[in-house]
Amino acid sequence: MLDVVGKVEIEFGGSRGRLVADGQHFVLDVDEPSVLTGVVELGSLRSLAAALSETGFTLQVRSGDRQLLLAGHETKTGILGRLLRLPRVQLDSRFALQSVLGRNNPRP
């Protein structure tokens, strides 16, 4: 099994984020979750979760303490994942709703 270790600071959509890898776990912590709105299509998310799962990796996307998305190997499919036919994906309901509706300024 491959272990990945590292930390990268990234900028996208006028916001900052940090991607941290520790073994088989990746954590993407974004300052502003609205920059992710509309970035990933369902088909792409489905493919990403499948690839992560097959290779033994798990990706957590969060903003501070709030988990927005969990995908990959150690993920049990959440109710929204089942409704959207996204195996191995757990979505925060508010984040998913904002992403679908294209809201750029989510309320706290």
Task: Output the pLDDT for position 50.
Answer: 95
pLDDT for residue 72 is more than 70? yes
Task: Please give the Cα distance from 30 to 39 (Å, whole number).
Answer: 13
Give residue-wise pLDDT tens across range 25-54. Answer: 999 999 988 777 766 678 888 999 999 999
State mean pLDDT over 92-98: 77
Q: Which pTM does this prediction carry?
A: 0.83
The larger pLDDT score, comparing residue 35 to residue 18, is at 18
